[in-house]
A and B are shown apart, each in its own frame.
Chain A
Amino acid sequence: MTSLRSPARPLSPHLQIWRWTPVMAASITHRATGIALYAGTVLLSVWTFAAALGADAFRPVGAILASPLGLALLAGYAWALLFHAFNGVRHLYWDQGRGLDLKSVKATALAAFGASLALAGVIVGAALMNRAG
């Protein structure tokens, strides 16, 4: 009887195999931000738990988030979320069978980087202004 178990499948080529281009960079950044957002979601869950426990339990969490390291973490989280969202829209667009020519994939890759960085800058700026005033 033939086994239903999967045969040994080949692994994907690692990072050093690929030549760096905007399209390749967007693809690997999509994965990297996906992993970062995985960690961010776990932290968000821990954050809600600390908030549920009460003001005393939340105090150290709030202090970490308000520190320079915490603010850098939040800024990075905002950018990762924005890049993954913009690049995700790119994927949804491709799923319609559109925008798959070389010129389009390069232009939309650069757009995903540019738009996510710009909007992250606006969000971090707005948050800092709101916090200060």
Chain B
Amino acid sequence: MFDRLDPAARDVLDRAARQARELHHRHVGTEHVLLGLVLAGGPVARLLTDRGCGPRDVHAEIVNRVGEGHPQGRPGELLAGLGIDLAEVRRRAEATFGAEAVAQVALRPRPRHRHWPVVRRWWPGCDGGRPCASALLDTEWLGCAPRLKRVIDAAQLRATPAQVSPAGLLAAILDEGHGLACRILADRGVDLPGLRAAVRSAPLPGGQASA
């Protein structure tokens, strides 16, 4: 899936997901990736920071527009509230069926509705980009906003056969042009075509192939 990302771009997405979790959002969207890009440092972050989009600015814009979600307990904590000892349930399941079978079941995508076929797994346990959880593994996965999925796919397609760099991610977000990230940039007075040109021409390590 997101297999053609270079380590720096992976780091950006990791940061984006961490920020989404801290905001108690259930999806990762272009706005979180923008925040991840700014937080990751390096030439791309400098391009953005120089245009008045520092980490604090972007974070404030996201809170302003999307708000903060509700903190949700992990499945283990929630089930403990019902008097269920999840660790014990898992221990018994693994003793009976084996750890491998338990992990297999927990990681299999589960459509929540019979009319939503599982088309493609985006990341473990996640079907069609929706956020989902495994009680047995006591884990929750963030969803991936459809637009972000498209943006990353486009970046990967353009970067072939090279890997996508952070510059490639930003270029794809700007080219798609309708995400929350673009609206945040535009509303902060950033000249989007100018930024796009800067991303393309800047001497970014590994960025030329994708930008």
Q: Do A and B bind each other?
A: no
> Which residues of A pack against B, CB within 8 Å?
none
> Which residues of B pack against A, CB within 8 Å?
none
